[in-house]
Amino acid sequence: MREFDIVGRRKIWYALSLLVIVPGIICMFVKGFNFGIDFTGGTIMEMRFEQPVNINQVRDVMKGYNLDNSTIQLSGDTASAVEARDVMIRTVDLEETERKAIMATLKERLGDYSVLREEKVGATMGSELLLNALWATLLSWVLIVIYVSIRFEFRFGLAAVLALVHDVLVVLAVFSFLQKQVDSSFVAALLTIVGYSINDTIVIFDRIRENLRLHFRRGGDVAALANRSIFQTLTRSIYTVCTVLFTTFALYWFGGDTTKDFSFALLVGFMSGCYSSIFIASPLWVTLRRLADAKRARRVA
């Protein structure tokens, strides 16, 4: 296992990532994303049933209209962790006939109710907020480059941010391919993925820096040193990602429909983050260092 040359095969890992990212970017421009009601707005229906109902009963009705991703909340004085009489449904923008059909089915299957509220609402996350989120993400990457450059060196910071960009693009590509719903929870998932991925990458970079200081001589093989550092931290990386994946998969499997897309984004992102920390970030650092060494050698010559 220790003889496996991860860094020496870096072109293979770059190619594998590009096989996902490049078609993903094309898909983003061609198919776009399946934006949820947080981005597009929608319809709110709030009603009070004569008998308590639970979320699964309401969702089964919505599923018949391909609206099982709707946000369903229980409220009111009679609300419990399981069921309530007051129910609020937030779903995509519905035509009048579609809305009436849904309400008729709810009455037929769940009993009589009175309507408390029925209105169309705008998007809670508009283009301005999306732009601000983009700028905030870019600023965080710049700050990561600065911080890692101070702690380590600039090439470490650049490699770390490129690995983060890789993870974000992979998750975006998968969601565009599968047309999974993109809503506010997806944004939260992306930020969680970035935090996990940078932590795993920094652990490997810290070991590389330590080995550079203790065991490396000028003119030595940085690829061999990076390989040794990766394998020295590999057990920790595998234990960490397995623990996180187990809990995230449990959330995906048992969490219900409202958390499926959120937990699916985390599953994809955590796997991509583990992959990029081992197969992308460190090989990128080696590539950047060798480019700098070659440039320095040409300048001396």
The answer for residues whose C-beta is within 8 angstroms of residue 125's C-beta and 6 or more apart is 38, 39, 184, 187
Range from 74-88, 114-128, 141-155 carrying the lowest mean pLDDT: 74-88
* Rounded Cα–Cα distance for residues 300 and 170 (Å): 40
CA of 68: how far to CAs of 58, 98, 258, in Å?
9, 15, 9
Residue 48 has pLDDT above 80, yes or no: yes
Please check whether the domain covering 7-31+126-300 is classified as CATH 3.30.1120.10.
no
**Nearest to 238, CA basis, from 208, 284, 277:** 277
pLDDT tens per residue, range 199-258: 889 999 999 988 888 876 665 688 888 999 999 998 888 898 999 999 999 999 887 777
Residue 14: alpha-carbon gap to chain centroid:
20
Residue with tokens 């995230």: 248
| Cβ atoms 280, 198 nearer than 8 A | no
92 exposure class (CB count in 10 Å sphere: 0-12, 13-18, 19+): middle
What are the residue ranges spanned by the domains of the chain?
Answer: 7-31+126-300, 42-121
Q: What type of residue sits at position 158?
A: L
The pair of structure tokens assigned to 231 is 């394998």
| Cβ atoms 175, 186 nearer than 8 A | yes
State mean pLDDT over 173-195: 88
Residue 189 has pLDDT above 70, yes or no: yes
Residue 270 has pLDDT above 90, yes or no: yes
Q: Would you state the pLDDT for residue 15? A: 95
| Angle made by CA atoms 168, 36, 20, in degrees to the nearest 5 | 30
Q: Would you state the pLDDT for residue 3? A: 59
The pair of structure tokens assigned to 83 is 């069921």
Torsion angle, alpha carbons of 229, 235, 238, 244, to 10: -110
Q: How high does pLDDT run on average in the chain? A: 85
Helix or strand or coil: residue 84?
strand
State mean pLDDT over 72-91: 75
Highest mean pLDDT among 34-43, 106-115, 166-175, 282-291: 166-175
Same fold, 7-31+126-300 and 42-121: no
This prediction has a pTM of: 0.81
Q: What are phi and psi of 4, to 5 degrees?
A: -70, 125
| Angle made by CA atoms 87, 92, 94, in degrees to the nearest 5 | 90
Q: Would you state the pLDDT for residue 11? A: 92
**Nearest to 86, CA basis, from 115, 122, 121, 56:** 115
State mean pLDDT over 75-93: 74
Q: Which CATH class name applies to 42-121?
A: alpha beta
Residue 84 has pLDDT above 60, yes or no: yes
State mean pLDDT over 129-134: 74
Q: Would you state the pLDDT for residue 21? A: 95
Q: Name the band, by pLDDT with cuts 50, 70 and 90, for residue 273.
A: very high
Q: Name the band, by pLDDT with cuts 50, 70 and 90, for residue 1.
A: very low
Q: What type of residue sits at position 27?
A: C
